[in-house]
Amino acid sequence: MPEGDSVYRAAAQLHQALSGQVLTAADLRVPAHATADLRGRLVLETVPRGKHLLTRFEGGVTLHTHLRMDGRWQVFPTGQRWTGGPAFQIRAVLGNERSTAVGYRLPVVELLRTAEEERAVGHLGPDLLGADWDADEARRRLLAAPERPIGEALLDQRNLAGIGNVYANELCFLAGVTPWTPVGEVAVLDRLLARARQILDANKLRNGHVTTGDTRPGRQNWVYGRSRRTCDRCGTPIRTTAHAEDRPAYWCPSCQRGPTPQ
């Protein structure tokens, strides 16, 4: 599942390509909206909400999409051949005279009234990249289940929106705790939340989820994707196993304290 910064960039790309323009092409290739015709509507904006994308049109209509694991929006100059995948994977097309946005493998494509967007995203916790980010509320939600493993709790978008598995692992490393440490035992929870917002903000307009400050390939992360490689801090081999929903967990046995799988 993409991190919130990737979704932020996707929203920025869609906003630049479509906003302020009238749709000359629109095709939603999902059964529920196959007959919907958005052509002739002015696109107002595309905004991210956690890992969700909301494209708003005049007339109080919103297209809600979600990328999940494999979805992707790709923008092409209108008239150029689309190269993001086979045609059967296309779920949505929005185009104007200048640009065409093509949504590949989108698992969620939903039209709804703009006034009813909360039905789609109202369950989300505070958005790390939102203007209304509320660290106190995110902390309250996390501590509502103090026995829950911190790695799992960070991935729960109802607690705070925008963290995926890369950042969940990296934030645990930076906090010096294993992903299985109960939330209530994370003494630096406030610092962890501040670091989460800092990291997502730093990466929102560039490719790569850099947590080390080093953008060179292979040097961008402390533990994620580095199984059996040595920790850049202490030289201990990084370990890996599955955690929440069978996602891979990575940790340094020396730099991180707390419970680990037997």
Q: Which residues belong to the active site?
A: 2-3, 51, 247
Residue pair 183/146 in contact (Cβ under 8 Å)? The answer is yes
Residue 235, token pair as written in the block: 């030289």
Rounded (5°) CA angle 8-12-14: 115
* 39 residue type, one letter: R
> Using CA atoms, how far apart are residues 227 and 22, in angstroms rounded to an integer?
49
DSSP 8-state code for residue 127: B
Residue pair 149/116 in contact (Cβ under 8 Å)? The answer is no
Distances (CA, A) of 255 to 66, 79, 148, 216: 35, 53, 21, 23
- Name every residue whose Cβ is closer than 8 Å to that of residue 2 and which is 6 or more positions away in sequence: 51, 67, 164
